[in-house]
Amino acid sequence: MSLNVLGLSGAVSHDPSAALYIDGKLVAAAEEERFVRDKHAKNRMPYEAAKFCLAQANIRPADVDVVAIPCAPISLFGPARWHYARRYASAPDRALDAILNGNRRFRRYKKRIEWCLTQLGFDLRKTLIQPVEHHLAHAASAYLCSGFTEKTAILGIDGKGEYATTFFGWGENGNIHKIKEFYDPESLGGLYGALTEYLGFDMLDGEFKVMGMAPYGDPARYDFSRLAKFENGELTVNTDYANVIGLKRYKEKGKGYYFSPRLVEWLGPRREGDVADEPYIHYAASIQALFEKLSLEMIDHYLGDILRETGKIAFAGGCALNVKLNQKIIARPDVKELFVQPAASDAGTAIGAAAFVSQQRGAPVEKMEHVYLGPEYTNEDVIAAIARFEARRGIALDWHGIGDVPERVANILAAGNPVAWFQGRMEFGPRALGNRSILGCPSVPGVADRINAQIKFRERWRPFCPSMLDTVGPQMFANDHPAPFMTFTFEVSEAWKTRVPEVVHEDGTSRAQVLRREFNPRYYDLMRELEKLTGNGVVLNTSLNRRGEPMICSPTDALEMFYGCDLQYLVMQDVLVRKAT
């Protein structure tokens, strides 16, 4: 008899998602934002995502044995709620609520999950809902999906779960052991998010932009050490400046931020606009440097012995998507291999909670080799979507079926044209990895600027990333560390900097996907055809969406996006759509 475990995330009011394990195999996973076309799908439940997972596996709600949720009640007798209350004594309403009613968020979330399950057709009288602590779900999403068989160091860093912000532990034989947690407001993720807001971006969305801006600045120009320190095994964030709540927040135009007026007095007015200018580029460099320094100190303190023993580390939580930190972790002499959960943010806790429960119930989960876990569409689906689009717009599209798709698209790319590339099952997590991508030829001068200005409509200083053949990665980076998910940056060798300049960032690194053919044959073959034409088995790859929108899910979404930007070519499965030039 099979074990079916459905994981549902969304406990912290953003990034709801669903994931389904059947007998330890991850058969489907998707984020709600892709279906409802609302980035991060804030304050929503993963209804459409769960509906997709059940349909993909062809099972009914009654066939689900357990619903795992990444949020759990936190005991009054542990340190978490008391720490929160003491450190936020300046907001007595919040402090007292933590002590007297500290599981309010869990109860509210559980009620919303029950409502969602009812809408999906679950009978709550027969449905087992199993809570998993938020950071334990993150830890499980990293360790259990890593495939590591040796004793493994486990790291989790994000903004905040129930109360915990940081997790240190170790895994062995499928079991997770907690070493230490830090609690709000001691949060590096929260601190980085507060500075993200100060630098003019949205928390939970703009941290990547701060990381992209950092290489343009000088981290030594400003000393940010006053913001946080790690001493004697304890992290302390200075709440005079950041991770603030209540009356201590800086307010502007009716909005409150997670930094204080004192930060503005120190650093000057909050940044606005899209320009990477002084002094803000130096502020970005300084917060990135402080984040890396403190993270590495904490890793050494709590996980150093395990790393020196086996060299394996698994990492999740939103901060695990900080690829510059990951580059520094890999560079440690005691690290042999780092696995970062590709959906490291809260969307990935659906996988983590479900994996944890599956493992507990005797169905060990498989190594996560790829993220192609979402919906897939046939050529017939594509043609039907084109017909509906033509009828709705009252226009006739220039489209036709094509053969030898990799060869045909490689020729279009080599001629200097970006291509919208839509094929196979949609990716899970924030990275486009060859199924919902905008592609360009990285040896064509100016192609990155063209995609930024005419298609993505995003800040010009943000980098673009390469996908490459597994035969190319060791040459381009002089490093054979596995990199299937774009979760690391590597130093680019001098020869390759001139061969593919459009995917090399300001600091001489690239955030790469190194692809093995077995996991995406068509995308691999496209890069092989491009290698025949240009000598480089590398393609510029960015997500198929416009600024502020979720990644494309369906052919209809792709057509709407295509006709809302200056792209000239859209390939969906074996169908090519062109615009008149």
Neighbours of 516 (CB within 10 A): 14
pLDDT bucket at 145, cuts 50 / 70 / 90: very high
Q: Could you give phi then psi for residue 438, rounded to 5 degrees? A: -105, 125
List, by residue number, the catalytic residues: 14
What's residue 274's pLDDT? 75
Instruction: Give start-end residues of each CATH 3.90.870.20 domain in the chain.
Output: 379-578
E-strand ranges in 32-107 read 66-69
- Over residues 378-411, the pLDDT tens digits come to 999 999 999 999 999 999 999 999 999 999 999 9
Burial of 27 (0-12, 13-18, 19+ CB in 10 A): middle
pLDDT of residue 11 exceeding 80 = no
pLDDT of residue 186 exceeding 80 = yes
- Token pair, residue 542, equals 């960015």
CA angle 457, 462, 464 (to 5 degrees): 90
Neighbours of 336 (CB within 10 A): 14
For the segment 163-170, the average pLDDT, to the nearest whole number, is 98
pLDDT of residue 581 exceeding 70 = no
Distance CA 344, CA 430 (A): 9
Q: Cα 289 to the chain's mean position, in Å? A: 21
4-144+344-360 is classed CATH 3.40.30.10: no
pLDDT of residue 315 exceeding 80 = yes
pLDDT of residue 7 exceeding 70 = yes
Rg of the chain over all Cα atoms, to the nearest angstrom = 23
What's residue 349's pLDDT? 98
For the segment 151-160, the average pLDDT, to the nearest whole number, is 97
What's residue 452's pLDDT? 86
Instruction: Give start-end residues of each CATH 3.30.420.40 domain in the chain.
Output: 4-144+344-360, 188-340
What's residue 414's pLDDT? 98
In total, the chain counts a number of residues equal to: 581
- Over residues 225-237, the pLDDT tens digits come to 999 999 999 999 9
Half-sphere exposure of 564 (CA within 13 A, CB side): 13
The CATH label, of 2.60.60.20, 3.40.47.10, 3.30.420.40, 3.20.20.70, for the domain at 188-340 is 3.30.420.40
For the segment 182-210, the average pLDDT, to the nearest whole number, is 95
For the segment 255-261, the average pLDDT, to the nearest whole number, is 96
- Over residues 271-299, the pLDDT tens digits come to 988 777 899 999 999 999 999 999 999 99
Distance CA 119, CA 47 (A): 8
Mean pLDDT of the chain: 96
Neighbours of 268 (CB within 10 A): 12
Please identify which residue in the block is written with the tokens 């949060």. 187
DSSP state at residue 366:
P
What's residue 453's pLDDT? 81
**Contact (CB, 8 A) for 134 and 121:** no
What's residue 547's pLDDT? 87
pLDDT bucket at 12, cuts 50 / 70 / 90: confident
pLDDT bucket at 460, cuts 50 / 70 / 90: low
pLDDT of residue 331 exceeding 90 = yes
Distance CA 447, CA 414 (A): 11
For the segment 109-119, the average pLDDT, to the nearest whole number, is 97
Closest CA to 340 of 53, 163, 166, 147: 147
379-578 is classed CATH 3.90.870.20: yes
For the segment 436-448, the average pLDDT, to the nearest whole number, is 96
**Contact (CB, 8 A) for 350 and 9:** yes
What's residue 13's pLDDT? 84
Q: Could you give phi then psi for residue 231, rounded to 5 degrees? A: -140, 140
pTM comes to 0.97
Q: Cis omega (within 30 of 0) on the bond before 185?
A: yes
